[in-house]
Structure 1
Amino acid sequence: MSKVLLGDVAHEHKETCKGSKDGYPIVGLEHLIPEEITLTTWDEGSENTFTKMFRKGNVLFGRRRAYLKKAAVAPFDGICSGDITVIEADPDKILPDLLPFIIQNDDLFDFAVGKSAGSLSPRVKWEHLKNYEFELPDMDKQKELAELLWAIDDTKKSYQELIAATDELVKSQFMEQFKELINHPDACSKIEDECTVFADGDWIESKDQSEEGIRLIQTGNIGNAQYLDKGERARYITEDTFDRLNCTEVKANDILISRLPDPVGRACIVPEGLGKCITAVDCTIVRLGSRILPEYFIAYTLSPFYMMQVASRETGSTRKRISRKNLGILKIPVPTIAEQETFASVVRQSDKSKFEMEQALSELTATYKRIITENLG
């Protein structure tokens, strides 16, 4: 095993599309999913100004905002954004199947962040990225590592598919169980008629934040049907700031709805045990009335019935959002509490299965990262 620089074993693939772009898939930064090594989305036939070519097997590295950890293997030839650095292995020096794991690892991303320039939209250049140093084993060991890491990646994807299938099951169950109400919107209530819809949280400036005190929940804490803790990056305000801004306190079992992507209108239940909390701007608090259960409301926000309503009431051209007023007038079917309770039991069982799969996925990801660190650090 020897120490090498990335530029010793790989190079930037520089190729420009000079002819027709017809037939080439188009990849932008938005198609690279953080910490996912496989490219799964792209555009076809869309109007664009991209001219940078990539070839099957190249690694597409998101050089803008490297802290987002975007890098994936190209499964085909195509055209990509100028904010993507195309990296090609030198096969006589490194196994091409191993290169993606060297690039898609926390240590390299940390290095890239440190070499990035620009305040609003920092970018890293290949001339800096190529100086990343790491341990490279001999070819036999490289092949062994590549086979192991790709097998782990396949298993991770299987877990992700099962988790997605669990969510789809809840959605389909909701649409099936409450189809009679959904098919008759006039029989549905407005959210604002069944719940208290509070104004958005205040814009909390950095000078108002503190190291401890009242937790500030932000749009980044609102996952799709789940609260994302992000405790290591939690922000707070003092009691004095709470009183001065006349903030609304968030309570356990409130629903938080993000008015911003991705996607607009995603929601979560505020869990027990957070202590005193408030929300930031673009988070709307929905306090449920006596006729709606929290698990039912969250399943409703995952349904096509809800999502179509949100889409029809979004505003903005470059960045979509939905106003608090438009959220309040969305229609929600309100079955009996007994019917909701029956449905909620299905949701709880699904959540339990999903949690177990997410735990297994988390452990597998930790093993995956440890193998990369120990062998390619």
Structure 2
Amino acid sequence: MPKYRFEDIAFNITQKRKPTSDDMKTYIGLEHLDSGSLSVTRWGSNVPIKGDKLLMQKGDVLFGKRNAYLRRAAIAPHDGLFSAHGMILRPNEKVISRKLFPFFICSDYFFDAAIRISVGSLSPTINWSALKELEFKLPDINEQEKLAELLWAANNTKEAYKKLLYLTDELVKSQFIEMFKNGNYPTVRASEVCNFITKGTTPPTNEIKTRPEQDSIPYLKVYNLSFDGRLLFHEEPQYISRQIHEGKLARSIVYPNDVLMNIVGPPLGKFALVEDEYPEWNINQAIAIFRAKEQVLPKFLLQALMQPDVLQPFLEKAVGIRQLNLSLEQCRDLEFPLPPLEHQQRFVEFAQQTDKSKFELKQNIDNLETTIKALMVENFG
């Protein structure tokens, strides 16, 4: 297969303009891109957008050049503005198929090479001056078109499963509302039903490892949390040593049944419930831990905190311009209705039944992602 410099494969679109108030509804930031997904499913900003932003067109590939290890790239769903911490890429159709181009950008083949040239320690960033010099092998256009057909078939099926997964989560939320919205239950503050509400401590950069070493502990960050309360692992987590985990980062240890919520963003309002299969983790200072007392079940607590009428007034208290922050005091003051334990248990049993369906859906999604990666490896190496 012939080799091409990346500047011959893709055009880097650098046109910018200042945002207006109308752009707030359609703006896409890096926080709207999900690792491993070509689809953008949310957009918009609740705070004024500052500084010049990139001008995107529907169908462009949006590439997260900042913190590139998160492997964020997706297809623009509409015209509008995109974060200046990203790149807007368009294919040179003389060299690469338009249909194949998004998969190429999302592939390990491309990202592995791009990540190697990222610069900076706190927020590693990829510069176009270095990226354009990278060389990649490509099959001929006819082979690319055939490959793109297979990849889109697999991707569309994967997206259908993801939609079912989303609808299953929505069913759980609907059941929660139906059971508890109009129950006239007493309102409690989070601090009254949690033994422990604190936030993590970010370890020094030189203590964070990208691969497990002897006696190391996984280290969770905001991108491992989600808007539906699941822990996400699109890639291997980072790690810290057990010594630092049990020493100066002891308050950052999370345990099964802890509810996690990010308090630094954007975005804000991401959650996770730590399940039994994750016995030891550590978190950074962008995440708060809620550890439930006996009168509240963790799965109930998770859903209670995620309810829009509980969460939205809380998020509106965030302060900051480029970075939004919520305090632990604000976390402790979160209020929600608390039904008796037997009522909570009925909801938890319902949620556990749906978990079985979600597990099968996730397996199907994982299998399709494996198929997509295998096709890319077979054709690109």
Determine what percentage of the aligned residue pairs are the same residue: 31
In the alignment, what sits opposite 1:152? 154
C-alpha distance after superposition, 1:34-92 (max 9, x if no partner): 33324455559x76653754445443333333323233334555454444433333333
List aligned pairs for 1:133-144, cutoff 5 A. Answer: 133-144=135-146
Identify the match of residue 271 of structure 1 among 270, 275, 281.
275
In the alignment, what sits opposite 1:236? 241
Counterparts in 2 of 1:350 and 1:5: CA distance versus 1, 3 Å: same
In the alignment, what sits opposite 1:344? 348
Note the C-alpha offset of 1:251: 4.1
SS in 2 for 1:12: strand
Identify the match of residue 307 of structure 2 among 303, 307, 328.
303
Cα distance in 1 for partners of 2:241, 2:36 equals: 28
Cα distance in 1 for partners of 2:163, 2:49 equals: 31
Note the C-alpha offset of 1:164: 1.3
In the alignment, what sits opposite 1:36? 37
Cα distance in 1 for partners of 2:100, 2:312 equals: 43
Counterparts in 2 of 1:324 and 1:148: CA distance versus 1, 3 Å: same
Identify the match of residue 334 of structure 2 among 330, 339, 342.
330
Counterparts in 2 of 1:16 and 1:174: CA distance versus 1, 3 Å: closer
C-alpha distance after superposition, 1:240-271 (max 9, x if no partner): x7467774865433334433346545443333
Long gaps (5+) in structure 1:
none
Cα distance in 1 for partners of 2:205, 2:16 equals: 44
After alignment, is 246-255 or 312-321 more displaced?
A: 246-255
TM-score calculated relative to the size of structure 2: 0.80
Question: Partner amino acid for 1:237?
Answer: R
In the alignment, what sits opposite 2:118? 116
Counterparts in 2 of 1:206 and 1:314: CA distance versus 1, 3 Å: same
Note the C-alpha offset of 1:190: 1.9
Cα distance in 1 for partners of 2:332, 2:108 equals: 42
Counterparts in 2 of 1:105 and 1:190: CA distance versus 1, 3 Å: same
CA contact (8 A) 2:220 2:237 kept: no
Cα distance in 1 for partners of 2:112, 2:345 equals: 47
CA contact (8 A) 1:264 1:322 kept: no
In the alignment, what sits opposite 2:193? 194
TM-score calculated relative to the size of structure 1: 0.81
Note if 1:66 corresponds to 2:72. no
After alignment, is 32-41 or 275-284 more displaced?
A: 275-284
Cα distance in 2 for partners of 1:11, 1:79 equals: 17
After alignment, is 170-179 or 271-280 more displaced?
A: 271-280
SS in 1 for 2:158: helix
In the alignment, what sits opposite 1:321? 325
Question: Partner amino acid for 2:188?
Answer: S
Structure of larger gyration radius? 1
Cα distance in 2 for partners of 1:345, 1:318 equals: 41
C-alpha distance after superposition, 1:283-331 (max 9, x if no partner): 4443322222222112212222331342244344432333222222222
Note if 1:174 corresponds to 2:176. yes
Counterparts in 2 of 1:133 and 1:322: CA distance versus 1, 3 Å: same
In the alignment, what sits opposite 1:290? 294
Q: How many pairs align?
A: 371
In the alignment, what sits opposite 1:101? 103
